[in-house]
């Protein structure tokens, strides 16, 4: 215990220092990739969900995603402009709305407008259908193209003499609504990326390159691996790298949300975009471009969006079978009505109506819109989803396991007790404050903060020295003072109250000693502060009927104290990393669906073993690599937001699937004329209106996805 918390030993310091930066490394690796790879998201969906094939076509020139979205937006508005006169000049619409707008050759005008619309607005769907059929996987795009193609051919025949009603306005609204749906989906899909893209603004454009003992201002893009750059006080760190000379405290709050500056010394990693404190540091470049932290975060968001859940695959399957169903029902309709002696125009109208009704507008956007909105909400709330299927199943979680240090606690110390030996409390606090104010160690910060709240005096210190792994020393009023660990006292034969130290340690406290010359005059017992949000998350989880468990490698005294304060259901302490994963297996064997929340290397096996691995964002690379979801803000309370978002996302998906599927299953037989003998047949106009309405319903429903702030 003493060695672990040795006042200036590096175990905790190293953990707290590296924890934050590795989160940034994992969190930042994502940004420029989204600009270059947005088309890959849609290309991926091409393979898995036919309706996205046209995205690749739209993006053939390697345009970035914003340009691609703009193209879709322009295509939608062009289609809308063409659709409005087509709708207004439709005899069916005029009859439905009780108005007349007719002139010579008006239907020829409609035919020309519809032809332009089909060639321009319909092109992405035809391209997508071609790719689907080439892969022998007809689905969404094939069905849309079938409806548009048949509607256009049939309606054109009507204009040029075939008896019946044209479907130009239906095919026009079909194309326009589908373009709108895809535009909204694409826009939502990149919202998560855009929410993070602002981080790229953190990166400076230039760096101070050290070249032959000279400092040369150069562009970041011109730097190479192993170059040395100097970061002056107050400057932003230009690149990811390792400190080769100097030390300073760095403000990393813009990435981790952690307000406490982190002490960085030689051989410590630094992250591009963080702000240097009051020291100058020399940094050797270790990562550039796509390997940097910011870039990795963008890649992570991309991967999350491309990662398809079971519900998404279910929608794809529905679309595939709906295509075959449409062909079968349309064929049966044609055969039945033909043998019933109905005229060709009646049979054709029924067949075309069936195909239009079968077109799965709602199903096509039901799941992807919810997914993209969910991903966007997650990113805005500091939840980075790596494995969507695991995230989707988070709604079933009934036990949450927490690591202690850095997860439920801050890794930030505060003074719990002070014992004096032959000196007044006021004096020892003044002495300690005067020495510790020169140190950036977490324990020093705890003592300094305590002293400031007690209006302590700053005394003049001379010959101050900080010896890593030992402690600090200095002269006050010509007397030498040390602040050291118990291990130092034992090693140097200095007497101290070992019983008291043992008592404090067993209670989970870290003890350091103030020595005047060779005599101990005070001891300070400090405690790692529990995060305020930890109390709330445990309370909220218990209210939801979810079991809370503390799983830590720390001694049972420390664990029990934290567990008691937080009122956690179960405390498991003094476990090795491999034993953590065994404990997770034990919980699963008892029937629990387990989420594990941790931040350290020793948590990685347990994160992998759990049904849902949640990495605290300020954790290590290993923990983050193993996790299914990352809490960027390092706030355990975000676990509640995560579980809530998972449940609400799933509910929205199911709602949309039910609505979209029910619409198709109910209206298809009606379009075929199953109730014709009972005096009802679904008019093409009503069918088209219902078709459009279904798409709007699922889109609005997806947009209504919210979680509590």
Report the sign of the C-alpha dihedral through residues 421, 424, 430, 431, in that order.
Answer: negative
CA-wise closest residue to 595 among 646, 543, 648: 646
Q: Which of 2, 268, 303, 403 is catalytic?
A: 403
Q: What DSSP string describes 166-189?
A: --HHHHHHHHHHHHHHHHHHHHHH
Tokens representing residue 251 in the block? 């403000």
Tokens representing residue 587 in the block? 């919980």
The dihedral formed by the CA atoms of 87, 93, 98 and 103, expressed in degrees to the nearest 10: 60
CA-wise closest residue to 581 among 530, 626, 636: 626
Burial of 318 (0-12, 13-18, 19+ CB in 10 A): buried
Measure Cα distances from 402 to 230, 387, 527, 599 in Å: 40, 20, 19, 10
Give phi and psi for 413, each to the nearest 5. -95, 145
Q: Are strands 594-598 and 612-616 parallel, antiparallel or unpaired?
A: parallel
Alpha carbon of residue 502 to chain centroid: 44
What is the distance between the alpha carbons of residues 26 and 620, in angstroms, rounded to a whole number?
A: 9
Measure Cα distances from 549 to 403, 567, 570, 630 in Å: 9, 10, 5, 19
Largest Cα–Cα distance of the chain, in whole Å?
117
The angle at the Cα of 707, spanning 702 to 709, to the nearest 5 degrees, equals 145
What is the distance between the alpha carbons of residues 516 and 522, in angstroms, rounded to a whole number?
A: 9
Q: Helix 10-28 and helix 293-306: axis angle, to 10°?
A: 60
Q: Is 268 a catalytic residue?
A: no
What is the distance between the alpha carbons of residues 45 and 368, in angstroms, rounded to a whole number?
A: 10
What is the distance between the alpha carbons of residues 88 and 173, in angstroms, rounded to a whole number?
A: 12
Whats the size of the chain, residue-wise?
709
Task: Find out whether 372 and 191 touch, Cβ atoms under 8 Å.
Answer: yes
DSSP H helices in 507-637: 532-543, 556-566, 577-589, 604-609, 621-626
HEC string for 483-515: EECHHHHHHCCCCCCHHHHHHHHHCCCEEEEEE
Task: Find out whether 577 and 553 touch, Cβ atoms under 8 Å.
Answer: yes
What is the distance between the alpha carbons of residues 562 and 550, in angstroms, rounded to a whole number?
A: 9
What is the distance between the alpha carbons of residues 692 and 694, in angstroms, rounded to a whole number?
A: 5
Report the sign of the C-alpha dihedral through residues 286, 291, 295, 297, in that order.
Answer: negative
What is the distance between the alpha carbons of residues 117 and 123, in angstroms, rounded to a whole number?
A: 9
Task: Find out whether 311 and 276 touch, Cβ atoms under 8 Å.
Answer: no
Contact partners, residue 234, CB within 8 Å, separation at least 6? 275, 276, 277, 278
Lookup result for tokens 């006042």 = 7
What is the distance between the alpha carbons of residues 439 and 177, in angstroms, rounded to a whole number?
A: 64
What is the distance between the alpha carbons of residues 646 and 387, in angstroms, rounded to a whole number?
A: 12
Residues forming the active site: 403
């Amino acid at each position: 215990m003493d060695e672990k918390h040795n006042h200036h030993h590096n175990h905790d310091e190293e953990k707290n220092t590296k924890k934050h930066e590795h989160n940034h490394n994992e969190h930042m690796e994502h940004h420029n990739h989204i600009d270059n790879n947005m088309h890959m998201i849609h290309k991926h969906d091409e393979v898995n969900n036919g309706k996205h094939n046209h995205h690749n076509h739209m993006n053939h020139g390697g345009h970035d995603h914003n340009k691609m979205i703009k193209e879709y937006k322009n295509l939608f508005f062009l289609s809308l402009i063409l659709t409005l006169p087509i709708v207004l000049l439709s005899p069916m619409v005029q009859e439905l709305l009780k108005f007349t707008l007719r002139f010579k050759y008006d239907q020829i005008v409609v035919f020309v407008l519809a032809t332009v619309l089909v060639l321009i607005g319909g092109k992405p769907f035809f391209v997508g259908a071609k790719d689907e059929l080439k892969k022998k996987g007809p689905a969404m795009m094939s069905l849309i193209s079938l409806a548009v193609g048949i509607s256009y051919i049939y309606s054109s025949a009507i204009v040029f003499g075939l008896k019946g009603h044209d479907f130009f306005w239906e095919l026009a609204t079909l194309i326009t609504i589908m373009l709108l749906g895809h535009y909204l989906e694409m826009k939502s899909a990149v919202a998560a990326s855009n929410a993070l893209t602002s981080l790229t603004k953190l990166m400076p454009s230039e760096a101070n390159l050290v070249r032959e003992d000279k400092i040369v201002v150069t562009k970041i893009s011109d730097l190479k691996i192993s170059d040395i750059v100097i970061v002056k006080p107050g400057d932003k760190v230009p690149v990811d790298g390792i400190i080769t000379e100097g030390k300073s405290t760095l403000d990393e709050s813009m990435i981790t949300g952690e307000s406490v500056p982190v002490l960085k010394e030689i051989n410590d990693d630094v992250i591009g975009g963080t702000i240097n404190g009051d020291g100058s540091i020399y940094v050797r470049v270790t990562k550039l471009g796509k390997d940097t932290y910011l870039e990795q975060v963008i890649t992570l968001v991309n991967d999350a969006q491309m990662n398809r859940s079971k519900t998404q695959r279910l929608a794809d399957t529905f679309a595939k079978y709906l295509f075959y169903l449409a062909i079968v029902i349309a064929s049966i309709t044609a055969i039945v009505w033909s043998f019933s002696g109905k005229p060709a125009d009646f049979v054709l109208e029924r067949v075309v109506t069936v195909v239009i009704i079968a077109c799965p507008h709602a199903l096509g956007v039901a799941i992807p819109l919810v997914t993209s909105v969910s991903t966007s909400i997650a990113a805005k709330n500091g939840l980075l989803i790596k494995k969507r299927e695991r995230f989707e199943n988070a709604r079933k979680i009934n036990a949450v396991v927490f690591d202690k240090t850095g997860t439920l606690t801050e890794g930030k110390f505060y003074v719990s007790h002070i014992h004096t030996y032959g000196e007044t409390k006021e004096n020892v606090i003044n002495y300690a404050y005067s020495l510790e104010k020169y140190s950036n160690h977490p324990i020093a910060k705890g003592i300094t903060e305590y002293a400031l709240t007690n209006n302590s005096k700053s005394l003049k210190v001379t010959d101050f020295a900080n010896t890593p792994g030992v402690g600090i020393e200095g002269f006050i009023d010509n007397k030498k003072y040390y602040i050291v660990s118990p291990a130092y006292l034992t090693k140097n034969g200095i007497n101290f109250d070992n019983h008291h130290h043992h008592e404090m340690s067993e209670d989970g406290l870290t003890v350091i000693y103030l020595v005047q010359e060779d005599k101990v005059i005070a001891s300070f017992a400090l405690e790692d502060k529990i995060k305020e949000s930890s109390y709330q998350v445990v309370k909220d989880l218990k209210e939801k009927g979810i079991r809370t468990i503390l799983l830590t490698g720390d001694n049972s005294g420390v664990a029990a104290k934290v567990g008691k304060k937080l009122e956690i259901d179960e405390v498991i302490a003094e476990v090795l990393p491999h034993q953590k994963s065994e404990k997770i297996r034990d919980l699963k064997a008892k029937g629990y669906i387990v989420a594990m929340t941790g931040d350290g290397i020793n948590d990685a096996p347990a994160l992998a073993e759990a049904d849902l691995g949640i990495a605290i964002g300020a954790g290590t690379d290993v923990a983050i690599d193993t996790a299914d979801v990352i809490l960027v803000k390092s706030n355990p309370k975000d676990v509640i937001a995560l579980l809530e978002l998972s449940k609400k996302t799933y509910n929205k998906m199911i709602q949309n699937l039910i609505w979209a599927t029910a619409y198709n299953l109910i209206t298809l037989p009606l379009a075929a004329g199953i109730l014709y003998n009972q005096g009802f047949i679904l008019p093409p106009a009503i069918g088209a209106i219902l078709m459009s309405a279904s798409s709007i319903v699922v889109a609005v429903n997806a947009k209504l996805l919210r979680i509590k702030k």
